[in-house]
Amino acid sequence: MEGKIGIVEILFVVAIALLLFGPSKFASLGKSLGEGIRNFKTAVKTEEDPKKDEEKKS
């Protein structure tokens, strides 16, 4: 089962990141990542809306 990432590997990476950055910096990194994903989803939705509006008008 090479190439598959499991729970143990994810926890290991999170533990290393926590040791490197510390709890406060780690929390702010998570917050920034969440905001980035949210902004990306919003941008994708706004890109889809004009296309749907054009299809409805036709």
pLDDT of residue 49: 63
Question: What domain range includes position 12?
Answer: 1-58
Rounded to two decimals, the pTM is: 0.51
Q: Cα(23)–Cα(28) distance, rounded to whole angstroms?
A: 9
Per-residue pLDDT tens for 1-58? Answer: 577 889 999 999 989 988 988 888 888 888 999 999 999 999 888 877 665 655 555 5
pLDDT of residue 25: 87
Q: Cα(44)–Cα(53) distance, rounded to whole angstroms?
A: 15
- Counting the structural domains of the chain, the total is 1
In order of 2, 39, 48, 49, the CA distances from 10 in angstroms are 15, 24, 33, 36
- CB 19, CB 11: distance < 8 Å: no
Element (H, E) at 26: helix 7-57
